[in-house]
Amino acid sequence: MDRLLDYSINHPYLAGGLLLMTFLVLGFEIRQRGAMSSAVAPNEAIRLMNSGAVLLDLRSANLYKDGHIAGARSLPGDQLAADPKAIEKLADKAVVLYCDDGATTGAAQRTLARAGAKNVFSLRGGLAAWKQENLPVVKG
């Protein structure tokens, strides 16, 4: 313990950098775990849909036509922030967001949370996970 204290005294910048990096990594990990807590598996998404949750497809309109989850509404992610009326309608409902692989739903979740939506979830793995579970996809 004395050697660690001596090292910290002799190399304050390195010791400070180590502490800073430790706090940054911990903060990042805590933030990631918080984001993952709002991600749901396909079977949990089905339960939410049966309870009245709104399902939003954040992919482009062309990808939506090529195949989407039954009952999902198309609202491309880039249009979500530009349409405050759509966000207001979703504020008091449970919302499940999905894209192709679940990678782009985080920004939409943050947008909805800033607008006051409380129950916003993302489909873990996106449409790819839905298909992997052999769940139905509709076209058109």
- The span from the CA of 10 to the CA of 101, in Å, is 49
104 versus 23: the higher-pLDDT residue is: 23
Tokens of residue 22, six digits: 């430790």
Whether the per-residue pLDDT at 37 is higher than 60: the answer is: no
Whether the per-residue pLDDT at 57 is higher than 80: the answer is: yes
pLDDT recorded at residue 66: 92
Identify whether the C-beta of residue 37 lies closer than 8 Å to the C-beta of residue 29. Answer: no
Q: Could you report the per-residue pLDDT of 74-92, keeping only the tens digit for each?
A: 988 878 777 777 777 777 8
pLDDT score, position 36: 44
Q: In this structure, are residues 120 and 113 in contact, taking their beta carbons and an 8 Å threshold?
A: yes
Given a cut of 80, is residue 46 above it in pLDDT? yes
Q: Which amino acid is at 82?
A: A
pTM over 0.75: no
Query: In this structure, what token pair is assigned to residue 83?
Result: 């349409």
Average pLDDT over every residue of 100-127: 85
pLDDT tens for each residue of 5-23: 898 899 999 999 999 999 9
- Residue tagged 């499940």 (tokens): 96
